[in-house]
Amino acid sequence: MTPRDPNPRVARRSKDDVVDAALDLLDRVGLPDLSMRRLAEELGVQPSALYWHVASKQELLASVSSRILAAVILRASDPDDLEGAAVTLGRRLRDRLLAHRDGAEVVSSSLALGLVPSPLHEALRHVDGSPAAAVVADAITHYVVGVTFHEQQRRAADAWGAAASEVAVTPESALRPADDGFEAAMALIAGGIAPWRADTERVPGA
């Protein structure tokens, strides 16, 4: 008996429904095939109808990014353990990006456009208020997003066809596959925190 919907047979969509459908379509067809027209078709609606719910495709993808990043939070954490928190969050971010097709690319551009908050920046600010937290959040976020983007593109290329083996770059000069390098890089960055602090926070005022 809500006054909102006088005729329940007319299926009206909310913005959440549109974002749901977009994320679902992303997982099924990938970012290159995720068009407003295709999404509209999926929802049984004209393409122009989408523009009542979202201002642009970019804004829609930003909402999709928010959904993908929603689970990247720190439940409980030792304050003072910036290293531990950074590594945990880095792994969680990677997990979330890998959970959706082309997740890294979608999130990368939303982040770059400033349409979505950086989850590591927000979380690390709570465990450590020092300037170090922001620097660490930056380093880890860019590394994880970059490496996962690289990984997912490679996966898509491999899936599409191994026929491109001649144009592709030799393995030794390409960026490394992240599978084993990921933990190493995380350890490298996290391990840099202590010496960097010793160098930087030595001088309090001037």
Partner DNA sequence: ACCTGAACACCGTTCAAGT
The size of the interface with a second copy (CB under 8 A), counted in residues, is 57
Alpha-carbon distance of 175 to 171, in angstroms, equals: 8
Angle at 144 between CA 129 and CA 124, to 5 degrees: 15
84: contact with a second copy by CB under 8 A: no
Stretch that binds DNA, among 5-13, 75-83, 126-134, 183-191 (CB under 7 A): 5-13
User: Quick check: 67 binds DNA (CB under 7 A)?
Assistant: no
Residue of 1, 6, 8, 48 that binds DNA (CB under 7 A):
48
Toward DNA, which CB reaches closer, 33 or 81? 33
C-beta of 108: minimal distance to DNA in Å? 18
Round to whole Å and give the CA distance between 186 and 192: 10
Contact positions vs a second copy (CB under 8 A): 59, 108-109, 111-118, 121-122, 125, 131, 134-139, 141-143, 145-147, 149-150, 153-154, 157, 167-170, 172-176, 178, 181, 184-185, 187-196, 199-200
Contact positions vs DNA (CB under 7 A): 4, 11-14, 33-38, 44-49, 51-53, 55-58
